[in-house]
Structure formats: C-alpha cells, structure tokens
Chain A
Amino acid sequence: MTALSNGHAANNSSPLFKIPPIKFTNLFINGHFVHSLSGNEFETIDPRTGEVIAKISEGRKEDIDVAVKAAREAFDNGPWPRMSGAERAKIMMKWADLIEENVEELAALDAIDAGKLYHLVKVLDIPAVANCLRYYAGAADKIHGEVLKGARELHAYTLMEPIGVVGHIIPWNFPSTMFAAKVSPSLAAGCTVVLKPAEQTPLSALFFAHLAKQAGIPDGVLNVVPGFGPTAGAAISSHMDIDKVSFTGSTEVGRAIMHAAASSNLKPVSLELGGKSPLLIFDDADVDKAADLALLGILFNKGEICVASSRVFVQEGIYDEFEKKLVKKAKAWVVGDPFDPQSQQGPQVDKNQFEKILSYIEIGKEEGATLLTGGKKVGNKGYYIEPTIFSNVKENMRIAQDEIFGPVLALMKFRTIEEGIKSANNSRYGLAAGIVTKNIDTANTVSRAIRAGIIWINCYFAFGNDIPYGGYKQSGFGRDFGMEGLHKYLQVKSVVTPIYNSPWL
C-alpha cells in the first residue's frame, strides 16, 4: 500500500487525537440514564486496535419494555404530541444548536466507535445532524391534511396524526446520520421514540440523548437503548405497544424484523436495507473525473455504505483507459488512522466485517475474477483493508451479486445503453445508481429505466435533507428524508360528515 509507504501506517499507535472521556454508557429511558435491569454490560471496541473503549449497559427485552412504557406514557398523556408544531420546532432547533456546540466531541465518538474519519465526521456527519433536525423542525408546522371533494353531500377532510410510539433500529456505519434521519421526522410528527443503536456504535446516540434532554425534549419522548439485535432489536420489532418500526441495516435482518412485526401487532414497517448499486460510465464521460467518482463511490466510509457503487459498468470505448486510471488512483488512496487528517480510509468497523470482506475477496479470486489491486489487510493491528478492485467480473459471480460492505469494487464492461441498463438491473437490490454522461437523452433514459430509489447523474452520494431516499426490490421500502420521510410517521384519519344546503359541491 502506498499509504504504508507514505508513512500513514495503520498501526501507528501514537495519539493523533486525545479521545474525550466517555460520559454516557447507560440506557437513556424516560429522561434518565439508567443501568440495564439485568446489570449486564457489553464492550464497545476501537476498530483501530480491537481494544475496549467502554463498557455499555446492555438493554434487553425487559429494558425495552420499560422504555416503551415511558414512550407510551409520553405519547398518550405527555405534552409532546399536544404541543403545536412550532413549539416542537423550537425545542428541536435548540437541540440542533447544542449539537453544533458539541461537534468535536460527537465527531470523536463516531470516529473512535466506527473507525470513521474524524475530520470528515466533524464537517459532514455531525453538522448534517443539526441540519436535518432544523429541516424537520421547519416541517413540524407544515403537516397538512386535505379537504376532500366528496362525491355526495359530504364534508370530508383528512387529519395527519402522529402514528404513536416509534421503534427505530439503526446501523453502525453512519451512527449519527441515521440517528438524525430517523429521530428528526418522527419527533417533528409528534411521535415518541425508542431507539436501539447498533451494538458497535452506541456512544453518539447516548450523547445526542443527553443533549435532547438539555434542549427540553420532554422525558419519555426519546429513549435510547443500546443492545443486540436478537434481544433488544427483536423486542422492539415484536412489541405489542410499538406502533411503527423503522429499520436500517442488512436485508436478512430486515426480513426478520418484518416477520416479527407481522406475527406481533402488524405494526407498519419501513426498511432501508442492502444494496449492490451500479455506476454506469458512458463513452462520452470525462474519464479522469469518472474514475474519481467511481473510487469515491466504493471507498467512501470504507465501503461501509449501503449505496456504495460496488458494481461499476464502463462502456467499452473508454474501458481500458478507465481501468488504468482507476487502479492508479486506488493505489494512491491513503489508508490509516481515522484521526490522521491525511487518511482517506479508516479501519472496518469490527472483526466480523473485516473477516467477511476478506473472505469475499477470496471468493472473487476463486470465481475467476482478476484482482487488479488490493486484496489484503493493512498493518497487523485493527481492521484495515486495502482498496480492492476486481476486473473480468461476471454478473452472476457472488462479488457482483452480494453486498460485501467493504472497499471492494467489481468492474465490468458494457457495449450499448440497453445492455448497460439490463446489467444494472440484474440485481436483487435496488437502492441507488449512478450515471456518468453528458448526453441528456442517455441520462433521461437510464434514470427512468433503472429500478432504484435514487439516481445520481454526474455525481454520487448527493444526499440532502429534502431528497427522499430508500429502496426498490430487496433494498427495502419506505423513504427516509424529505417530506416522504415524515409521512411514514403519520396516520391519515378521514373525517366525514353530511352537509346540508351547501351552495357548491
């Protein structure tokens, strides 16, 4: 790795950043930090070293029950759903300000817990949490029902009511962003929340909860219960007193959650799951820029992003030049300590993921794909992996079908637009897609033809608070962000009454 030769060694143990003391390790229920009922704890690990950062109270079914009870009480009898949208907005705005004031500490928590680049988290993830809160705060007083055109002499209208107690189960790859994407719209809608962060990354969610209390979010409105999927997560998805569950994570777990929801109280579910997103690069593209985009598309956040451009399709006219440039850029990519400002890629989140990715690299080789670069771990400590590119990938290979969730790119060639579309859609997933072309017809045709929830034309990872985001096919259903992301936390109630002597109908 160039990175190592450049001296940004993965196992560099010199302190690049003073990690703040970890302040919050208990469950946050009904406005207070409390131990789990069992007294059990689990360790959260620094992926740079595999060492323990802190011991965290482990929430289980009985703790979820207590949290749901608090959320239920806060919803049924508390002030939150009964406040005006503007009053909820005011508190959410205050919360956003407090998050901005604590940006460094929060960024450090995500960096140490998830191996994310500290300097990026500080300017991207944490400010985005504040912005997302502000966006939905601004939406809290803009939740409109409709007055309907009755077919008879009826006066009918819809009320958009908060759905109730919402269970959120969020992943470890974007602990803060996912927290914001789930919590902001549900609170704006007037719901109360029980949130389970991933067991790998509980720290920032607990800190956010602490700030929520300071901002004036009433007790019981936001409950954060760290724990594991099969215990705490399952208790949420099968709880009879939770009105809605929203999950972001793997497709397998999504299936289990939907099953649990179905066999308990039929709570509506929204799922944002895995992907194997295609990036199509056409002959008219600027090859250099396209290679940068493709590389960022797979390496951003170490490839631990559900919309990673893990299948890159390049039109044959520029394929060779593209491949050469891509490999060169990949070799220059800097892997290292996430607190080092020079680093472009930190360690994978944990040993599990690390080993899974390495095993997929082996599978790729066995399947007969050509390893152009990378393929190995970096350093002897922690979970660092080289940027890895395979060529000669066939569409039916597992590295072209399965979500690897790491810095592993499958490079493929296509000839015509039709062929590119067909290959891009040859997936059980449908989360995102990228198109690089200057031709407006190509852009319009391909963006309509690809069965995915978000299409990026000449860009990638272009997210925004107002841009709905979610999957087709087995990438899930429901949308986060935008007004779509708010509507899933609302019930629609139609109110109908006869009218007499109306001068118009």
Chain B
Amino acid sequence: MASSSTRISRLLSRSSASLFSRGGKGYLGTGFSRYSTATALEEEPIKPAVQVEHTQLLIGGKFVDALSGKTFPTLDPRTGEVIAHVAEGHSEDVDRAVAAARKAFDQGPWPKMTAYERQRILLRAADLLEKHNDELAALETWDNGKPYEQSAQIEIPMLVRLFRYYAGWADKIHGMTVPADGQYHVQTLHEPIGVAGQIIPWNFPLLMFAWKVGPALACGNTIVLKTAEQTPLSALYAAKLFHEAGLPEGVLNVVSGFGPTAGAALASHMDVDKLAFTGSTDTGKVVLELAARSNLKPVTLELGGKSPFIVCEDADVDQAVELAHFALFFNQGQCCCAGSRTYVHEHVYDEFVEKAKARALKRIVGDPFKSGIEQGPQIDSEQFEKILKYIRSGVQSGATLETGGDRLGSKGFYVQPTVFSNVEDGMLIAKEEIFGPVQSILKFKDLDEVIERANNTRYGLAAGVFTKNIDTANTLTRALRVGTVWVNCFDTFDAAIPFGGYKMSGQGREKGEYSLKNYLQVKAVRYV
C-alpha cells in the first residue's frame, strides 16, 4: 500500500501544480468558472479506449441472457447516456447461478483441488488482470465516472495485489490442534463454507469484487456475485479473465441486476451458505433480515459511515488541510469511509477553514478520462440530486458555505467541490452520509470533547487523527469506536489490513487474514 499511497499523493500533487484559478468567493450561484477544467465539461466527452464485450450474465462458465430476456441500460455518468444494455438478472437467474455454484461446490473440482493448485489459478488470474489493466480501468471509469488515472494507476494494481495476496493464503489456512481435558485428541478443520452470495456496490466496483471474491476463492468456496446496477461492466470482464486463468465453470457466477429482485433473491436463497454485502446501512438491514428469515446464513456487512477526521492543535495545518481534503473528496466523496466530519481544534480552525476552501477551489473537476483530473461526475442522477439536497439543507441549517454548492456544467452529474464551515453536530449534513464532495468543518476545544462528539453517531467505520503527539494519537486511537483509525494518513488500504465497521457501519471484517474467517466453517474433531 505504501506504493499506492505514494501514487495517490503523486496524483494529488500533480493537480496542485497545474492549477490556474483560485480565490473567488464560494457562494451559490457564482458559476463554476473558477474550477480549473470547467471548460472541459462543455467539450465532447473523451471516447474510452475499450469495447464493451460482455453484457450477459455469467453463469456456469458461460455468458447467457436473462431468462426473462430483459435488459437494463447502464449509463455514462459524464453524460447520462447509455453505454450498453445489460442482461437483467431476476430471481430465476439467481436460482440458476446458485445451482451452478452449488454443483461446482458439491461435485466440482474446485474445493477438491490442492490449495497449491487454487493458488496457481488465482496467480494466473492476477497476471491476466494486470495484463488487461488499461481495459479494466477504462471500463471502470466509463461506468463509474472516477478519474481514469485513479483507476489505472491505483485501483487496478490494488485489485491485482489483492488477488496475489489471497493466492498466498490458499495454502496457509490452518486449523489447530486443541488441548482438552481428559484423554482426547482434538483438532479443528477449517473447511470452505460453501456457496457464497456476494452483493457489491458501485463506488469501487472492482476493488469490492476483489475484497469479496479473493478470500472466498482462496478458501475453496464457489460464488454468486451480484454487481451494482450502476456498474455491471468491469466485473463481467474480470470474471471472464478468471475463467481464462483456469477457474472451473460454476465457481464464479456474476449476475447483474437490481437489489429488490436479484439482490433479495440471493439474500433469501435457501441454498446460499454465506452472504457478504457492501452498501448502504438501510439495505444492509434488509439483507440481514432476509438472511434471518430464510436459512440463517451468516452475513458480513460493510455499510455506511460518517467518519470523523480530527485535526489537533499541534498539526501542521497545510498538511492537515491536504489530507482532510483527500479524505473527503477522494472518489467524488463516494467512499463509505470518507472523512465527512472534519473536526478542527479551535486554535487552528480559522487558518484551516481558509486553506481548506482554497484547496477545494483548486480541485480539478472534469472528464475523468482527461489527464490530471481529480474529480469526475457523481455516479447517477439519484446520487447527484441527493447531494444537492444535502447542500441546500446545510445552507438552510445555518452552516457557512465557503465554496461550491452547485452542479458543475450542464450535462452529466458533476458537483462542485463544496466546503461548509461552522457546522454543528446536530445539523443533517453532520449526521447523515452524503456520499458526495461536501466537506463539513466543525470546531472543537479539547480532546475529551472531540472524542465524545466523534463517537456520537450511529456509524463507526473509520476515523482520521492528525497529530504529532504520541499520547494524543494513542488516546484517540483507543477511544474512537470505529473499525479503522488512520493516524496522519487516510484511505491507506492494503490487502493485509482488515476493514469493517463498529455499530451500524456493519459487522465482520474484510481483507487481511480476518476475511478468511468469513468464508470458513470450523469443524472441531475430537477423538477419544
């Protein structure tokens, strides 16, 4: 990850080097001419260097139409125009996919082959993903709107890294021999759990694919994966490469479709042994209920967040501003762990707000395929409208809109980088997950106070701590009720570092060794 963080910071610094507009007052309605690439938005969108080859469902190793014959359009968030029509999986398609996965698990070669062979297939798949880096990145950006450089230089390499990492786990999944009272020999077998149902979101389509598929395959499971309806394309491409690498048919099935139909069918399926979901807290609740009502399948949930980023009084303000900016605006603000509550100590608050605003003004927004772009469009009109609604709510509740606050351009789903200061804990923008480029800056006085306020949320996904004081860092680290604490860094992901939430941000952990537990059954064997 060190290398990925380096790449991230390189991308960031490149953007500040190419800035050419600044200043200006960030009030609603002043237009967007200060955003450095505004003009680019009026140009024709850049044509992605990739063909959409796969739009059908991938079931039992073959691309097939939905049984109903239905399709749905997947849209280009730069323009709102159709990229392709994709087969729409419904309950009966999920049934087919589960049957294929069941057969591949119960009778197929996958769980029966040696871990070394599974490792080799995963490594070959990683090599193929690496080879097709640019096509995958282009599909990802086209479907999602994230900057192409971010896809190509950070996310696809991370995807490759994740599969190599889990390939290495395949032959290191150890049970234990267990001491027991009396004359017994006791050992635990770690067995694959069976057919895993996985439902992934649209904000990091391929990384979420890797977080789910990597550990499940390393453990010897078979999979039915439902992609988000906004971003079905890249997973189909990647899954095809897994088959080229030698993955047996039926082991990895990909069903495109919608939550209430395909997602619900998977969550409530009687023949799915495990469910993993990443998405909103509301949907997570539904998924958990469906699992409970059907066959009590265990569920891993990685849900929403309202993560605090705490800037202490000893912080270097320039660095803190840059990191807080990145923590919130990265990926158009569409990160479940986004640092969406920026708590700044009162001694550095004014300077911080001024500089945070200046930094947001420098943010380069435009066609994500263009070089040097920091921010592309939001994923779709629904998110776009929701974000604008939250911005209006912020203004109405009395927060100070420092900059941004409106859409950018006249087509697609671009939103101005937006900064609110004087935000109070009770305001909607400080409580709810906005999932967009809207930074809320709050002032605090002392450590105990900020701990209490930071923890006063139903979420508990992540937190950022910015300080050079080791005692402050240790105190905050232990006191914050969140699954990840980043000290003097943010969004540093690595294959080996577990990720997941406290409270209503979810249950279970993904990545690292911890994720293997999601996909294993433990069998205790006791001999007299």
A137 to B172, CA, bound (A): 12
Say yes or no: is B164 at the interface (Cβ < 8 Å to chain A): yes
In the complex, chain A residues whose CB is within 8 Å of the CB of B171: 135, 138, 465-466
- Does the CB pair A137–B479 fall under 8 Å? no
In the complex, chain B residues whose CB is within 8 Å of the CB of A448: 185
Quote the shortest CB–CB distance from A195 to chain B (angstroms).
24
**Taking A440-B527, A499-B478, A501-B475 as contacts, is the C-beta distance between A142 and B513 under 8 angstroms?**
yes
Which chain A residues numbered 462 to 505 have a C-beta less than 8 Å away from chain B? 465-466, 483, 497-504
A14 to B11, CA, bound (A): 66
In the complex, chain A residues whose CB is within 8 Å of the CB of B113: none
**Taking A86-B161, A142-B172, A466-B171 as contacts, is the C-beta distance between A503 and B474 under 8 angstroms?**
no
A406 to B119, CA, bound (A): 37
In the complex, chain B residues whose CB is within 8 Å of the CB of A140: 168
**Taking A135-B171, A138-B172 as contacts, is the C-beta distance between A503 and B478 under 8 angstroms?**
yes
Say yes or no: is B502 at the interface (Cβ < 8 Å to chain A): no
- Does the CB pair A137–B168 fall under 8 Å? yes
Of the candidates B119, B165, B470, B479, which one forms a contact with A86 in the assembled complex, judged by CB atoms under 8 Å apart? B165
**Taking A86-B161, A144-B513, A497-B470 as contacts, is the C-beta distance between A502 and B479 under 8 angstroms?**
yes
Say yes or no: is B181 at the interface (Cβ < 8 Å to chain A): no
Say yes or no: is B327 at the interface (Cβ < 8 Å to chain A): no
- Does the CB pair A138–B119 fall under 8 Å? yes
**Taking A134-B119, A444-B527 as contacts, is the C-beta distance between A89 and B475 under 8 angstroms?**
no
- Does the CB pair B164–A503 fall under 8 Å? no
Which chain A residues numbered 95 to 127 have a C-beta less than 8 Å away from chain B? none
Say yes or no: is B258 at the interface (Cβ < 8 Å to chain A): no
A142 to B169, CA, bound (A): 8
A444 to B525, CA, bound (A): 13
Number of contacting residues on A, CB 8 A?
Answer: 31
Say yes or no: is B3 at the interface (Cβ < 8 Å to chain A): yes
Quote the shortest CB–CB distance from A432 to chain B (angstroms).
19
Say yes or no: is B180 at the interface (Cβ < 8 Å to chain A): no
Say yes or no: is A35 at the interface (Cβ < 8 Å to chain B): no
A87 to B6, CA, bound (A): 15
- Does the CB pair A131–B116 fall under 8 Å? yes
Say yes or no: is A139 at the interface (Cβ < 8 Å to chain B): yes
Say yes or no: is B2 at the interface (Cβ < 8 Å to chain A): yes
**Taking A84-B3, A134-B119, A139-B172 as contacts, is the C-beta distance between A89 and B470 under 8 angstroms?**
no
Of the candidates A86, A465, A466, A499, which one forms a contact with B475 in the assembled complex, judged by CB atoms under 8 Å apart? A499
Say yes or no: is A155 at the interface (Cβ < 8 Å to chain B): yes
Quote the shortest CB–CB distance from A484 to chain B (angstroms).
11
B interface, over-half SS: helix
Which chain B residues numbered 488 to 528 have a C-beta less than 8 Å away from chain A? 495-496, 513, 527
A499 to B477, CA, bound (A): 10
Which chain B residues numbered 166 to 210 have a C-beta less than 8 Å away from chain A? 167-172, 174, 185
**Taking A86-B161, A499-B474 as contacts, is the C-beta distance between A93 and B123 under 8 angstroms?**
yes
In the complex, chain B residues whose CB is within 8 Å of the CB of A90: 164
In the complex, chain A residues whose CB is within 8 Å of the CB of B123: 93, 134
Q: B475 — nearest CB in chain A belongs to which residue? A: A501
A281 to B165, CA, bound (A): 43
- Does the CB pair B474–A155 fall under 8 Å? yes
- Does the CB pair A141–B496 fall under 8 Å? yes
Which chain A residues numbered 23 to 38 have a C-beta less than 8 Å away from chain B? none
Contact pattern, B 141-176, Cβ under 8 Å of A = 1, otherwise 0: 000000000000000000001001101111110100
Say yes or no: is B53 at the interface (Cβ < 8 Å to chain A): no
Quote the shortest CB–CB distance from A147 to chain B (angstroms).
11
- Does the CB pair A138–B527 fall under 8 Å? no
Of the candidates B168, B169, B172, B448, which one forms a contact with A89 in the assembled complex, judged by CB atoms under 8 Å apart? B168
Quote the shortest CB–CB distance from A467 to chain B (angstroms).
11
Quote the shortest CB–CB distance from B432 to chain A (angstroms).
26
Quote the shortest CB–CB distance from B525 to chain A (angstroms).
11
A257 to B474, CA, bound (A): 46
Q: A499 — nearest CB in chain B belongs to which residue? A: B474
In the complex, chain A residues whose CB is within 8 Å of the CB of B164: 86, 89-90, 138
Q: B170 — nearest CB in chain A belongs to which residue? A: A138
In the complex, chain B residues whose CB is within 8 Å of the CB of A498: 471
**Taking A499-B474, A501-B475 as contacts, is the C-beta distance between A139 and B2 under 8 angstroms?**
no
In the complex, chain B residues whose CB is within 8 Å of the CB of A503: 478-479
A504 to B448, CA, bound (A): 15
Quote the shortest CB–CB distance from B11 to chain A (angstroms).
20
Q: A504 — nearest CB in chain B belongs to which residue? A: B478
Of the candidates B168, B475, B527, which one forms a contact with A139 in the assembled complex, judged by CB atoms under 8 Å apart? B168
In the complex, chain A residues whose CB is within 8 Å of the CB of B2: 84
In the complex, chain A residues whose CB is within 8 Å of the CB of B185: 444, 448
Of the candidates A137, A141, A504, which one forms a contact with B495 in the assembled complex, judged by CB atoms under 8 Å apart? A141
In the complex, chain A residues whose CB is within 8 Å of the CB of B474: 155, 497, 499-500, 502
In the complex, chain A residues whose CB is within 8 Å of the CB of B495: 86, 141
Quote the shortest CB–CB distance from A344 to chain B (angstroms).
26
Q: A498 — nearest CB in chain B belongs to which residue? A: B471
In the complex, chain A residues whose CB is within 8 Å of the CB of B478: 155, 499, 502-504
Q: B171 — nearest CB in chain A belongs to which residue? A: A466
Quote the shortest CB–CB distance from B353 to chain A (angstroms).
28
A466 to B172, CA, bound (A): 7
- Does the CB pair A138–B475 fall under 8 Å? no
In the complex, chain A residues whose CB is within 8 Å of the CB of B513: 142, 144
A497 to B474, CA, bound (A): 9
- Does the CB pair B479–A138 fall under 8 Å? no
In the complex, chain A residues whose CB is within 8 Å of the CB of B116: 131, 135, 465
In the complex, chain B residues whose CB is within 8 Å of the CB of A502: 474-475, 478-479
Which chain B residues numbered 22 to 78 have a C-beta less than 8 Å away from chain A? none
A87 to B164, CA, bound (A): 11
**Taking A131-B116, A138-B119, A142-B496 as contacts, is the C-beta distance between A500 and B168 under 8 angstroms?**
no
Quote the shortest CB–CB distance from A465 to chain B (angstroms).
7
- Does the CB pair B172–A501 fall under 8 Å? no
A169 to B380, CA, bound (A): 63
A139 to B167, CA, bound (A): 10
Q: A136 — nearest CB in chain B belongs to which residue? A: B168
Q: A134 — nearest CB in chain B belongs to which residue? A: B119
A87 to B496, CA, bound (A): 14
In the complex, chain B residues whose CB is within 8 Å of the CB of A134: 119, 123
A140 to B164, CA, bound (A): 11
A499 to B476, CA, bound (A): 10
Contact pattern, B 117-144, Cβ under 8 Å of A = 1, otherwise 0: 0010001000000000000000000000
A497 to B119, CA, bound (A): 40
- Does the CB pair A138–B496 fall under 8 Å? no
A93 to B185, CA, bound (A): 38
Q: A505 — nearest CB in chain B belongs to which residue? A: B478
In the complex, chain A residues whose CB is within 8 Å of the CB of B475: 499-502
- Does the CB pair A500–B172 fall under 8 Å? no
In the complex, chain A residues whose CB is within 8 Å of the CB of B172: 138-139, 142, 466, 483
Of the candidates B167, B470, B479, B496, which one forms a contact with A501 in the assembled complex, judged by CB atoms under 8 Å apart? B479
Contact pattern, A 423-453, Cβ under 8 Å of B = 1, otherwise 0: 0000000000000000010001000100000
In the complex, chain A residues whose CB is within 8 Å of the CB of B470: 497
Which chain B residues numbered 222 to 256 have a C-beta less than 8 Å away from chain A? none
Quote the shortest CB–CB distance from A133 to chain B (angstroms).
12
Which chain A residues numbered 3 to 19 have a C-beta less than 8 Å away from chain B? none
Interface residues of B (CB under 8 A from A): 1-3, 116, 119, 123, 161, 164-165, 167-172, 174, 185, 447-448, 470-471, 474-475, 478-479, 495-496, 513, 527
Q: Closest 5 CB pairs between A and B?
A: A138-B168, A502-B478, A499-B474, A501-B475, A444-B185
Q: A84-B3, A86-B164 are in contact. List 9 more A-B contacts (CB 8 A).
A: A89-B168, A134-B119, A138-B169, A138-B170, A155-B474, A497-B470, A500-B471, A500-B474, A502-B478
15 chain-A/chain-B pairs, Cβ below 8 angstroms: A138-B170, A141-B165, A142-B169, A142-B172, A142-B513, A144-B513, A155-B478, A497-B474, A498-B471, A499-B478, A501-B448, A501-B479, A502-B474, A502-B478, A503-B478
Interface residues of A (CB under 8 A from B): 84, 86-87, 89-90, 93, 131, 134-135, 137-142, 144, 155, 440, 444, 448, 465-466, 483, 497-504
